[in-house]
Amino acid sequence: MSLPAATVWRRVVALSFALVLLLSVGSGVAAAQSFQGAAGTVVVGPDETYDSIEGIAGTVIVRGTVTGDVSTAAGTVHVTESGTVGGNVQTAAGTVRIDGNVAGDVNAAGSTVEIGETARIGGSLESGAAYLSIDGTVDGDVTAGAETIVLGPNAQVAGDFRYDAETFTRDPDASVGGSVVQDASIRDSAGPTFGGLAVPGWLGTIYGLFANLLLGVVLLAAFPAFSTRVAERVADDPVKSGGIGLLTLVAVPLALIVLAATIVGIPLSLVGAVAFGISVWVAVVYGQYAVGAWALSLADGDNRWVALVVGLLGFAILGAVPVLGGVLELVALLLGLGALALTLQEAYGGRRETSGGRQATLDETTSDTSTA
C-alpha cells in the first residue's frame, strides 16, 4: 500500500524539521562543561559540573554544580536541593524555584517564583512575579514586586526587605534583619536584566508556549492518525491513561538509575535519560492537546489544529495560577504520558496486521485518510 505523494512529502518535511528540533533538545541535555544557545531541556546532573548556562530553554534543571552564572529565559528553572550555582542566577521564566545554594544574587521574573526552605542565596534577591514565596535564607537584601508575596516560617533575610504587593503575608517566625518597607515603585522595575535590556516576567511563559506549539504542529503534521488516537485514549479512559502515566513517570527513572549502576549500562542510561526527557516533553504537548480536543468536542467542534491551540493556550493561562496551575500541568503530563505509552504499545507492541501475507509497515500503522 503506497501513500499519496503529497502525504509522503508532508511527512518528509515535518520529520526533517522534527529531527532538527529534537537534535537541538538533545544537545542541550548532553552538553558538557557549559551550555550556550537554545534547547528544549538543559539538565545538570548530580555529578556534573558546568562552567555556566546561558541561553533559552524550555526547562533548566540544576541538580549538580554550575561554577559561574545561570542566565536564561525558560519555561521552568529549578535549582534543586542538591544544586549549587557559584555565580548569579538571572532568569525570566514561567516558574522559578530555588531549593539549593546560590552564592551570588538571584534576579528572577516569572509567573511563580519560589525560594524553598532548603535554599540559601549568598547575595540579594530581586524578583518580579505574580506569586512570590520566600521560605529560605537570603544573606543580602530582598527587592520584590508581585501580586502576592508570602514570607514563610523558615525565611531568614539578613538585609532589608523592600516590596510592593497587593497581598503580603508574613509568618511570625520569619526573620528579617533589616527594615521591612513597602515601596510602590518596585513592581514596574523588578525583574532580571540581560546586558542592560529589561526582560518582562511573561517572556518565559511566551517562549514555553511557542516551543510547545511548535512541537505540537510537528507531531500533528507528521503523525495525524497517531496523534488522534492518543487524544481519543485520554477522552475514552482518562483514569487508565493517568494511572499508566504515573507508573511510567516513576518506573522509567528508577529503571535508568538501576541501569546506570553498571559500567556497561551507563551509556545506555544516558541515552535513555535523553529519550525519556524528550518523551516527557512530547507527552506534555499531547496531554494538553488531548484536553483541548475534549473541550472542543463539548462544543461539537472537531479540528485538531484548533484543539492544539485551545489546549496549549488554556494550560498556559491556567499555569499562571499558583498551585492550581502546577497541579493541572501535572495532570496533563500524566494523561499524555499514559496515552502515549498505551498508543505506542498498540502500534509497535507485537500487533501484526497482515496484508497479502506481510506485516503492516509503520506508515500504514500511523497513516489516516484525513488531510493535514
How far apart CA 75 and CA 94 sit, in angstroms, is 5
pLDDT class of 367 with cuts at 50, 70, 90: very low
pLDDT at 19: 42
pLDDT value at 357 more than 80: no
Burial of 120 (0-12, 13-18, 19+ CB in 10 A): middle
Mean pLDDT of 354-361: 46
> CB within 8 A of 70, min separation 6: which ones?
52, 53, 60, 62, 77, 79, 85, 87, 88, 89, 90, 91
pLDDT at 262: 67
pLDDT value at 299 more than 80: yes
Among 116-130, 250-264, 316-330, the range with the most confident prediction by mean pLDDT is 116-130
Q: Which of 223-232, 302-311, 322-331, 343-352 has the lowest mean pLDDT?
A: 343-352
pLDDT at 37: 65
Mean pLDDT of 227-249: 91
pLDDT at 122: 96
pLDDT at 11: 46
The closest alpha carbon to 96, from 122, 70, 67, belongs to 70
| CB 318 within 8 Å of CB 328 | yes
Pairing of strands 156-157, 49-50: unpaired
pLDDT at 198: 45
Angstrom CA distances, 25 to 15, 84, 234, 282, 312, stand at 15, 23, 26, 12, 20
Mean pLDDT of 119-147: 93
The x, y and z cell numbers of residue 153, run together, are 516560617
pLDDT class of 349 with cuts at 50, 70, 90: low
pLDDT at 13: 41
| Per-domain boundaries in the chain | 43-52+59-198, 223-366
- What does the pLDDT look like over 184-202, one tens digit per residue? 777 555 555 544 444 454 5
- What does the pLDDT look like over 1-42, one tens digit per residue? 444 444 444 444 444 444 444 444 433 333 346 777 666 688
Q: Which of 23-32, 105-114, 128-137, 232-241 has the lowest mean pLDDT?
A: 23-32
For 32, the enclosing helix (H) or strand (E) is: none
Helical residues (DSSP H) of the chain, grouped into ranges: 5-30, 203-222, 224-236, 238-260, 265-298, 304-318, 324-348, 362-366
pLDDT at 174: 95
Average pLDDT along the chain: 79
Mean pLDDT of 321-338: 84
Specify the 3-state DSSP secondary structure of 201.
Answer: coil
